[in-house]
Chains A and B, each alone.
Chain A
């Protein structure tokens, strides 16, 4: 990371920095969104770090909820369009105020369908971030999914072929100062935004802003713009990724296996042969009072 040496700074400096984000062109006339970062200086470490280096394994279990909003339906949650309300009502989640037993619901992940984006980012499990000069790859431990974000200067066109929509979308990132701004489109509308059953359409565009606010923390801010489902953009609750030290990861594998020096996220894959054929039928169905 020598080329980023000029960006090396101690966390104290970051405490003096607040980022103001003006996002336009979300398809909502007259809408101006401003996010002022609440990022605080890290107090735990004086170790220098490169704020443009996200390589590592990061844990999402500390800092932010598992929903887009802090609480489902809170004041940050935008009103639905008619289509959005209809779709939301048709989705039967197993979390939050509308929770019903999974066997009676229709959460796509219940039968190992992909979580998609942004839902995978919300799950409280480790993810590995891998950065190359042109590509930023996120590997999610939970469901063993990956996503690529091009950082080679390209931009995401809103005119994508809907036949090639993806659960994890198409993403491109660029730096604004030390914040990586990622724009995505081309999503598969069968995914849910979060575990509370908030819908998305193929027209959804997602903006993510990643800021390494300290050596150990990356702050993620998101704006979801989906005029098919919501009457205004949705500013997500800020989420935090916490660095898992490399030696801790290596320790996982040394403890669990005879692998020495192994580094990477675990494979927490959802396989239908386990989840659908056994767990759902033998545990979650009876848990819901269903006997097949």
Chain B
């Protein structure tokens, strides 16, 4: 991804309405700006319920029509399973709202705090950031 695209990502984010909160998470601070949280609405392309990191891939459409493909990481299978989630909880095509801390490098990747599903259910984690 080139610099223009990176800028486009952030323009998209800014245009999409950002909720910025201060958090005190740790562990993945080297990769992600954990002091910033953004909210994205997107369409799921893939949900990987695997250890040690679950992964969500989704497309976010900006005001200019450009599609940006995001990748997000979340807690382990164990952590999410204890909360009642499974591999079928999220399906390709689902319209979801994701809250995440974005990559410090500016590319569309983040560590996720919550994924709100089409039926309104919300997959959340605790700080969970001890994952490597």
Contact = CB atoms under 8 A, between A and B. Distances in A.
Interface of A: 66, 94-95, 99-103, 107, 109-110, 123-124, 141-143, 195, 252, 255-256, 266-271, 274-275, 278-279, 282-284, 286-291
B42 interface: no
A271 B76 CA distance: 13
Contacts of B106: 289
Interface string B69-83: 001110011100110
A99 B28 CA distance: 9
Contact of A282 (B31, B71, B77, B130): B71
B44 interface: no
A129 B77 CA distance: 22
Contact of B31 (A141, A255, A287): A287
Contacts, number: 96
Chain B interface size, under 10 / 10 to 19 / 20 to 34 / 35 or more: 20 to 34
Contacts of B1: 286, 291
Contacts of A271: 50-51
Instruction: List 5 tightest A-B contacts by C-beta distance, closest first.
Output: A289-B105, A99-B30, A286-B107, A287-B31, A274-B50
B107 A283 contact: no
B82 A286 contact: no
Mostly helix, strand, loop or mixed at chain B's interface? loop
Given A275-B52, A278-B55, A287-B107, A141 B78 contact: yes
A268 B52 contact: yes
Contacts of A289: 103, 105-107
Contacts of A110: 132
A291 B48 CA distance: 20
30 contacts: A66-B130, A94-B28, A94-B30, A101-B30, A101-B31, A102-B30, A103-B31, A109-B132, A195-B132, A255-B82, A255-B84, A267-B51, A268-B76, A268-B77, A268-B78, A270-B51, A270-B52, A275-B52, A275-B53, A279-B50, A279-B53, A279-B55, A282-B71, A286-B103, A286-B107, A286-B108, A286-B109, A287-B110, A289-B107, A291-B1
A64 to B, nearest CB: 13
Nearest to A98: B30
A142 B130 CA distance: 11
B130 A287 contact: no
A95 B53 contact: no
B27 interface: yes
| Residue with the highest number of chain A CB atoms closer than 10 Å, among B29, B57, B73, B132 | B132
Given A270-B52, A274-B51, 5 more contacts: A107-B132, A266-B78, A271-B51, A278-B55, A279-B73
Contacts of A282: 55, 57, 71
B51 A287 contact: no
Nearest to B111: A287
Contacts of A195: 132
A283 B73 contact: yes
Interface string B19-62: 00000000111111000000000000000101111010100000
Contacts of B130: 66, 123-124
B51 A291 contact: no
Nearest to B78: A266
Contacts of A102: 30-31, 132
Contacts of B31: 94, 101-103, 284, 287-288
Contacts of B48: 274, 278
Nearest to A257: B81
Contact of B51 (A123, A269, A288): A269
